[in-house]
């Protein structure tokens, strides 16, 4: 994830730079510096941005706001909570 990817995510989430920075635990100045990053973001910034996307998806009740890799992990976790297995359980009709 680059700074531009982060900017695209922030806009998709409908957040200002100040709000995204706050969600990520950064000052506005620190956040804008991260968003200007041309190369890959530091792993901790990327992970926090992914978490923000999941939080916003839940808050806005829109699964598509979560980044794809985060959405997959969240769905795997939900399946694990329901069935004890992260894999989809096949019913008797599909066996």
pLDDT tens-digit series, residues 18-37: 999 999 999 999 999 999 99
Over 70: is that where the pLDDT of 41 sits?
yes
Over 90: is that where the pLDDT of 59 sits?
yes
d(CA 87, CA 92): 16
> CA torsion 60→63→65→69, rounded to 10°?
140
d(CA 80, CA 19): 32
84 pLDDT band (50/70/90 cuts)? confident
Q: What is the pLDDT of residue 92?
A: 46
Full-model pTM: 0.82
Average pLDDT, the chain: 91
Count the residues in the chain. 95
């Amino acid at each position: 994830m680059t700074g531009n990817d982060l900017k695209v995510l922030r806009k998709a989430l409908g957040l200002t730079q100040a709000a995204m920075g706050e969600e990520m635990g950064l000052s506005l100045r620190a956040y804008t510096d991260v968003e200007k990053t041309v190369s890959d973001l530091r792993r901790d910034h990327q992970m926090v941005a992914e978490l923000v996307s999941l939080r916003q998806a839940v808050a806005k009740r829109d699964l598509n706001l979560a980044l794809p890799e985060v959405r997959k992990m969240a769905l795997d976790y939900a399946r694990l909570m329901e069935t004890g297995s992260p894999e989809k359980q096949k019913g008797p009709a599909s066996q």
